[in-house]
Structure 1
Amino acid sequence: MPSLPAFSAHDCHFLRRYENSRIAFDRIPAEGQAYLRDIRTRLQSLARIAADDYHGKLTMTDFVSALYPGSRATSKYWAGIHSKQPGDERTSKSFQLQLAVVIMPEGFEICFYRGAGKSLAAPTDKLAGAEPKLTAVQSALANLRVQQIARIERTLQPYWFFRKHGMNPNPRQEFSTLTQWLDYAASDAGARASISMFIGEDELENNKIDVSAMFLEAVRLFEPLFEAVYGAAVENGSPPTEWLEPSGIVEASIDEPPLRDLKAICDDFATGLREANLVLGTHHDENVKAFVASLTTKRFLILTGLSGSGKTQLALRFGDWLGIDRVRVTPVRPDWTGAEALFGYEDALQPMRDGARAWHVPEALEFMLRAANDPDKPYLLILDEMNLAHVERYFADFLSGMETLQPCLPNLERYDDGLYRISPGTEPRLPMPANLFVVGTVNIDETTYLFSPKVLDRANTIDFKVRTEDLQLDYQKPGPCKPGSNAMIRGFLAISTDERYHVDHPAPKQAEFAHGLRRVHRILAEHNLEFGHRVFYEATRFSAMFAAAGHMNPHAALDRQIMHKVLPRLHGSRRKLELALCSLAAECLDPESVELDAMSSRFDPLAPMAGPVRMPLSFDKIQRMVRALRMNQFTSFSE
């Protein structure tokens, strides 16, 4: 596949100059004309790639809007694809179903769109042949039935809006179900009806959204509708019953058995990261295994370390691998002071319906509700800059719900006015979805807050460092990661939700790992810093996952768990921590090569080494913590 064109918020900013403008195109300065041509060229390139990449039985062709309609500048450009069947050479696209991407001052819209049914540009002979085909399309839309509509509808909501008119920057729901939209689109009034997704400037500003990748994902999503309507209405006049099956991409593969092979999953994701220009240091494969094993151990993961070290990029690329429509980045704000930042609240300013108040739904809650309604697929919520606010204040309800499995999520339903409410007669709360994974990124500076042990106990914490040898001259900015296969994605979810996986698939040397972890506990207990049952259980589960991912060494698993679960809990004064850290450092050495009493505080981790290090990651981190302790009389895991 050719390289995908890139789009940014600057494109929208530039088009704002010509919003409601009547300026002639030839009056625009040369550099402005060049930029507008470039926008149109990029859109056309994306549409051609999408048409060539279409996997269904139909032949698709691309289109792009005029550079200067009526010789005047415009603030809106679009491009897309539609079906090209025998005889369509004389049919205007205005009489077709289209999938388009629109760029406008407010942002981008991706829309599955029923043509207007009229064209000022098309000659009369084109229109004469088009109208019967449009009638056939309307008939096919009207006769699509509900065998699998609910499945695709779960995928569409809440990010796709059922609209009466597309190419409109006002995102609001005008139909509550896909069935209602299909009925409207099949009617004579349904010209320009659309199913639309909006990507605002704010999402583009932080480079978290790849418009081109999302458009190609939309091609996959709406491919079954194209196949059903044109494969049935145009060719033989009767729509198929299993209308989502022809492409075999969106829902036909849902019954494919999950691949419960964690090593294959890790290898596939590691390869995808390399191809996306994101390499996790000299131990790339091992780091990927630790990342995936951590998420399958516990659905909450913290990524901490140096700003610009790749934390958010790794989380985003894993979202790509899971499926770009099942990842959401939510920047944490300093004013998040309570659970309503994630779970919303009753909005008394909105009208009541059926005795139920409307609910203010933040994007994180909307995403969690979508995960709850689509339990067969994994969803990834990324909380960016998680410690800009006190985590315990806004995240306590979430942590409690994940730990206790008690209902905590508002059980909301979207009404036909586009507002969410708790429906009368239903349970007001839902359990936290088992298919929801949360990754929080953390930077440490004077504007952020440290985590408490009760938060760190409930997560694996991966520390990111950029080593000198990792700085490469040929570095390229990371791009999208190729998605995993359906079998692998479902396998990842199946392993993650299997509470007995570590019991049924223990690590080959699980007893040796447990013995080492007990020694660590004994060292910490001497200084009143010990961990509890939860850490021991989750560390044991991690060792099984790490072994299943292909890393059988129990000392490597223990090294990771000291780094992920033990050291992040340690912060405080020199008097409190120095003896414990020195004893832990001694435990990191090879006892067969160096005679050391790990319980002795006489060992100095900063002195020259007399033998090999058995757990290098933990030992290196302890050295840094001890060095900071002696310089500042205080240390913490986060630097």
Structure 2
Amino acid sequence: MITFTREDCQVFARYPESVSWRQVRKGDQEIFKSIRGRLKQLSEEVSATVKAGSVDLQAKTSLPTPNGRSPRDIWCCVYPASVPNKSYSFQVALIISERGAEICFCAGAGTSQVADPDDRRRLEAILENTRDKLTRIPSEVVNGVERSLGKEWFYRTSWHGQPDKTEFRSLREWLNHASSPQGNAASVSVYFDPNELTRLGDQIAEKFRETLRTFTPLLEFAYGRLEREPRRIAPIPTVEFGSATLLEGFEALSATNLQIQEEFFSRFVISLAAKPFVILTGNSGTGKTKLAQLFAEWLTGGLSESHRGHAVVPVGADWTDNRNVIGFVNHLRRTGDDTPIYQGTAALDLLLSALAEPERPFFLILDEMNLSHVERYFADFLSAMESRKAVPLHSEAKPLQTADGRTVPHAIPFPDNLFVIGTVNVDETTYMFSPKVLDRANVIEFRVTEEQAAAFLTKTTGGLTTVEAAPKGYAEAFLRLCRDARETPSSDLALATHSRNVQAQIEECHRALRNLFVILRIHRQEFAYRTISEVLRYVYLDFALSEHQDSWRWNVPIDAQILQKVLPKLHGSKRRIGSLLTALAKYCERGDVEEATSFARDETNADTFNANEGNRFPTPQFPGSYEKLCEMIIAVRRDQFVSFIQ
């Protein structure tokens, strides 16, 4: 029978300042050792007898003589056996000190005396991976754990905190903080003062076991076997987002009187699924913002009333830093305890909502995003989108509150369920995008043809109407499709399970990418690994969402990706890129890489290419890219300068 009493707590009170172990009285030394022995026995019993789902556990107990001095507390913990060092793991701990006992589910300190740099990097990688998983725990799991906790539990930024108030409003908010780089030592704690500890008797051991059982779902999700196997693209068991769903979305948006072609809508949705950052460019009034807004409303409108699935944020010309996106600490407004208010934004509210509901998609629509330099206000997002590192928010001593009571941690990870759509107009009041921005996005150009303009003039319907929400389950199915595609290695996107015909077409995709690389490299404009991976992901999704997979053709998605991923980064003078544009046009015309490279190397030869509309090749291999390149060639010859976005 393991118990702890008031007398155990009093021994810590006799040494409020840590002293040399030699200065500790013999009787007190024995008490410290006894406390440590009981904690060690308890943690080893629990790790051996209590199962945390599929997670094997190990035990750790602190020494009674840390650094040869008297202890301020003595603790034990159980944590996953797969983690070599408990400081880099989430764990369940019991701490005995002068104040009584604290039982908590907590994050490790994230620091330890690990001499080998390689070992330390591996431990840091384990912790980073665990944090990433915790941000994706489904709400039903989090809510189930929270319901098991009583009001006596406190959400804290650190163990050892005074048991006076909680610092987060919910377990989800605490998880968002604990999953950030500032989340080391964050804890969900319950406290027992010395008298309560004495009255508990041997029930303290059962409280410890009960805490482990309560938080097992979180440990299972972060460390369990279910997450150890890499995810693969597979049919969704409940609702599948497939070609029929895609058609339903197109019909729903068309019913609002939005002027859009089915092929264009498909490219937009596939681009979002392949990479959660899409830029829509084109003349003002073509429906760029409305497409983004109506799609978000269609997909998320059928969710709960509390679910705000999208936000349209107009970008201002005065956005010179990220405060208009992620907010800032407002020292002029303070709470009752003299803590500054965090000045929130619509974008930050959406970000926090996305973190709170990781199984649902959210859409941030940045309207006219090039009214200011994108790198000035969006650089943190661009970096976090790729690195999966946290976006820093503030450096105050503890999490802050917005005016409406939302908790804002020191940093937040970029949610993988957040989709960013930017709309772009080009005139004398706007700024061009840097290659860094364009390389991370699919750029889709809105164009109104003569036939579309004529049809619009003769239509009898009124203005835009509201969109009918998609059936329940579509939003979650879309997000599952996106996550599966993103998390599948590029080498697995070869569609190996399909027919030889499809295999041959995938080889054609690979060949086209190699040829494009060779042509672009002549002018030092070649793409890198990220572009290759994202193009292959787009190709897979185009096949997966194809209505007639037996007649699927590889050149259609490759044409779209040349148009959306390769050409947008090309801009400059005729001398710099004139022959390159001609070489790419020749390649898109017939797929002949040798002919294309000869044009890329010879500017005189390139000038013989006739890009005028009446002289263009009637059946190019990549028609959309070919047409755009011919237009850019005409523009660069006329103006001596050209860019994709004009």
Does residue 514 of structure 1 match 2:497?
Answer: no
Question: 2:354 is paired with a residue of what secondary structure?
Answer: helix
Shift of residue 611, structure 1, vs aligned partner? 5.3
Question: Is the 8 Å Cα contact of residues 342 and 394 (structure 1) preserved in structure 2?
Answer: yes
Question: Is the 8 Å Cα contact of residues 257 and 487 (structure 1) preserved in structure 2?
Answer: no
Specify every segment of 5 or more residues in structure 1 that has no aligned partner in the other structure, as ranges. 1-145, 154-175, 179-255
* One-letter amino acid matched to 2:625: S
Does residue 376 of structure 1 match 2:381?
Answer: no
| Equivalent residue number for residue 429 of structure 1 | 411
| Equivalent residue number for residue 280 of structure 2 | 303
| Equivalent residue number for residue 580 of structure 2 | 580
| Superimposed CA distance per residue, residues 496-526 of structure 1 (whole angstroms, 9 cap, x where no aligned partner) | 1222446555453222112101111110100
| Equivalent residue number for residue 599 of structure 1 | 597
Does residue 564 of structure 1 match 2:544?
Answer: no
Shift of residue 586, structure 1, vs aligned partner? 0.6
Cα distance in 2, alignment partners of residues 413 and 354 from structure 1: 13
Question: Is the 8 Å Cα contact of residues 261 and 491 (structure 1) preserved in structure 2?
Answer: yes
Does residue 634 of structure 1 match 2:641?
Answer: yes
Question: Is the 8 Å Cα contact of residues 259 and 287 (structure 2) preserved in structure 1?
Answer: no
* One-letter amino acid matched to 2:386: E
| Superimposed CA distance per residue, residues 543-577 of structure 1 (whole angstroms, 9 cap, x where no aligned partner) | 11111121732111111011101110011100001
Cα distance in 2, alignment partners of residues 416 and 467 from structure 1: 47
Cα root mean square deviation, aligned: 2.9
Cα distance in 2, alignment partners of residues 485 and 629 from structure 1: 48
Residue among 540, 544, 547 paired with 2:543: 547
| Equivalent residue number for residue 441 of structure 1 | 423
Gap change, CA 1:635 and 1:149, over 3 Å in 2: closer
Gap change, CA 1:177 and 1:149, over 3 Å in 2: farther
Question: Is the 8 Å Cα contact of residues 510 and 540 (structure 1) preserved in structure 2?
Answer: no
Residue among 227, 246, 250 paired with 1:270: 250
- Structure possessing the higher radius of gyration over alpha carbons: 2
| Equivalent residue number for residue 6 of structure 2 | none
| Equivalent residue number for residue 442 of structure 2 | 460
Shift of residue 414, structure 1, vs aligned partner? 7.7
Give the aligned length.
Answer: 385
Question: Is the 8 Å Cα contact of residues 294 and 542 (structure 1) preserved in structure 2?
Answer: yes
Gap change, CA 1:374 and 1:445, over 3 Å in 2: same
Question: 1:589 is paired with a residue of what secondary structure?
Answer: helix
* One-letter amino acid matched to 1:477: G
Cα distance in 2, alignment partners of residues 511 and 354 from structure 1: 65
Question: Is the 8 Å Cα contact of residues 265 and 492 (structure 1) preserved in structure 2?
Answer: no
Gap change, CA 1:402 and 1:521, over 3 Å in 2: same
| Equivalent residue number for residue 469 of structure 1 | 451
Shift of residue 332, structure 1, vs aligned partner? 0.2
Gap change, CA 1:259 and 1:630, over 3 Å in 2: same
Gap change, CA 1:409 and 1:486, over 3 Å in 2: farther
Cα distance in 1, alignment partners of residues 448 and 256 from structure 2: 18
Question: 1:346 is paired with a residue of what secondary structure?
Answer: strand
Gap change, CA 1:264 and 1:527, over 3 Å in 2: same
Cα distance in 1, alignment partners of residues 555 and 252 from structure 2: 28
Question: 1:329 is paired with a residue of what secondary structure?
Answer: strand
Cα distance in 2, alignment partners of residues 582 and 519 from structure 1: 15
Cα distance in 1, alignment partners of residues 628 and 349 from structure 2: 39
Residue among 354, 366, 385 paired with 2:368: 385
Question: Is the 8 Å Cα contact of residues 358 and 421 (structure 1) preserved in structure 2?
Answer: no
After the TM superposition, which residues 161-240 of structure 1 pair with which residues of structure 2 at under 5 Å, given as runs?
A: none
| Equivalent residue number for residue 294 of structure 2 | 317
Gap change, CA 1:595 and 1:561, over 3 Å in 2: closer
Residue among 259, 264, 270 paired with 1:293: 270
Question: 1:349 is paired with a residue of what secondary structure?
Answer: strand
* One-letter amino acid matched to 2:512: G
Gap change, CA 1:457 and 1:374, over 3 Å in 2: same
Does residue 344 of structure 1 match 2:340?
Answer: no
| Equivalent residue number for residue 483 of structure 1 | 469
Question: 2:414 is paired with a residue of what secondary structure?
Answer: coil
Residue among 450, 457, 464 paired with 2:432: 450
Cα distance in 2, alignment partners of residues 534 and 317 from structure 1: 30
Shift of residue 352, structure 1, vs aligned partner? 4.6
TM-score, normalised to structure 1's length?
A: 0.56
TM-score, normalised to structure 2's length?
A: 0.56
Shift of residue 259, structure 1, vs aligned partner? 2.5
Gap change, CA 1:393 and 1:599, over 3 Å in 2: same
Shift of residue 279, structure 1, vs aligned partner? 3.4
Cα distance in 2, alignment partners of residues 605 and 537 from structure 1: 34
Gap change, CA 1:546 and 1:428, over 3 Å in 2: same
| Equivalent residue number for residue 618 of structure 1 | 625
**Identity among equivalent pairs (%):** 35
Question: Is the 8 Å Cα contact of residues 377 and 490 (structure 1) preserved in structure 2?
Answer: yes
Gap change, CA 1:449 and 1:620, over 3 Å in 2: same
| Superimposed CA distance per residue, residues 257-279 of structure 1 (whole angstroms, 9 cap, x where no aligned partner) | 55233323311111111212123
Gap change, CA 1:147 and 1:626, over 3 Å in 2: closer
Question: 1:371 is paired with a residue of what secondary structure?
Answer: helix
| Equivalent residue number for residue 360 of structure 1 | 343
Question: Is the 8 Å Cα contact of residues 380 and 437 (structure 1) preserved in structure 2?
Answer: yes
Question: 1:347 is paired with a residue of what secondary structure?
Answer: strand
* One-letter amino acid matched to 1:288: F
Shift of residue 430, structure 1, vs aligned partner? 1.6
Cα distance in 2, alignment partners of residues 313 and 416 from structure 1: 30
Gap change, CA 1:413 and 1:380, over 3 Å in 2: farther
Question: 2:621 is paired with a residue of what secondary structure?
Answer: coil
Cα distance in 1, alignment partners of residues 379 and 645 from structure 2: 21
Gap change, CA 1:574 and 1:148, over 3 Å in 2: closer
| Equivalent residue number for residue 493 of structure 1 | 479
Gap change, CA 1:564 and 1:353, over 3 Å in 2: farther
Cα distance in 2, alignment partners of residues 618 and 573 from structure 1: 20
Question: 1:328 is paired with a residue of what secondary structure?
Answer: strand
Question: 2:466 is paired with a residue of what secondary structure?
Answer: coil
Please say which of residues 284-293 and 518-527 is displaced more in the overlay.
Answer: 284-293
Question: 2:473 is paired with a residue of what secondary structure?
Answer: helix
Cα distance in 1, alignment partners of residues 353 and 331 from structure 2: 24
Question: Is the 8 Å Cα contact of residues 258 and 494 (structure 1) preserved in structure 2?
Answer: no
Shift of residue 148, structure 1, vs aligned partner? 11
Question: Is the 8 Å Cα contact of residues 343 and 403 (structure 2) preserved in structure 1?
Answer: no
Gap change, CA 1:588 and 1:288, over 3 Å in 2: same
Shift of residue 609, structure 1, vs aligned partner? 3.5
* One-letter amino acid matched to 2:448: V
Gap change, CA 1:350 and 1:595, over 3 Å in 2: closer
* One-letter amino acid matched to 1:343: I
* One-letter amino acid matched to 1:479: T
Gap change, CA 1:349 and 1:574, over 3 Å in 2: same
Residue among 241, 244, 264 paired with 1:261: 241
Gap change, CA 1:494 and 1:610, over 3 Å in 2: closer
Question: 2:444 is paired with a residue of what secondary structure?
Answer: strand
| Equivalent residue number for residue 213 of structure 1 | none
Cα distance in 2, alignment partners of residues 610 and 417 from structure 1: 61
Shift of residue 340, structure 1, vs aligned partner? 1.1
